Structure 1
Amino acid sequence: MKREILCLAAFLSACGTAAAEGAGRYAMQKTETGIARLDTETGEVSLCREDDGQMVCRMAADERTAFELELDLLTKRVEALENAASAPANPLKPRLPTQEEIDQTMSLMERMMRTFMGIVKDFGREDAEPQKT
């Protein structure tokens, strides 16, 4: 275990140098159990091994825990959105006015418009009268 930590520390320092020199996004270092892969952009370390001619990588334990927590959070958010979408109509939705309320409103607006038009006609008469000097 102690040896793996020392190897990982050496790997990380070597990768930092490689990243500074413009190497690719991933840096790899051979270990006793396989290959450690460093994502030079995010700092995530994955442990890789060859399996049937293919490289298989798995996240380190702390990254896996963070990944699972994020996955749980996203799952809960999706469930909440699905529940909200399937819920009945919003009970706080405003109701439409009744015909009586519409008639009252229209009557009030008609009176306001008649008063306004009367004021406009009065101004028109004042402008039509010759001014006394």
Structure 2
Amino acid sequence: MRGRILISLPLFGLLCAPASAEGDAERYRLEKTGDGYVRMDTVTGAMSTCREQSGQLVCRMAADERSVVQDEMDRMQGQVKALEERVAKLENSLTSRLESSLPSEEEFNKTMGYMERFFRSFMGIVRDIEKEDPPPAGPGPDRT
């Protein structure tokens, strides 16, 4: 069974290949004009003018399509530029806000010194209270 599948897959590929090539050949139509050819894409309706140069067919978009494409490119370039400017503004404002709101190294160390002194004093008070009122000697209350 496995041998049949391996043999039939290449045959299937060979049978399908001409169909796709024929589909591409049928997609475009060439019509001869006085100074060259007009190529039409039967799927999209796009038209191009073609001329023979050095034994090859060179095609270019029709003038009305070129202006539509150029207009769209200009519009998109404007959008990209506006987005780049917006990103730059956002990055700059965020960076400056973060830098201005963070304390300097000196301010941080000073604050940590205050916190350390506070906790040392607080722990000293707790120790003093524990010395004055020692916990009861017997078993403590049942906490279960």
TM-score range, shorter chain: 0.3 to 0.5
CA radius of gyration, larger in? 2
Instruction: State the TM-score, normalized to the length of structure 2.
Output: 0.45
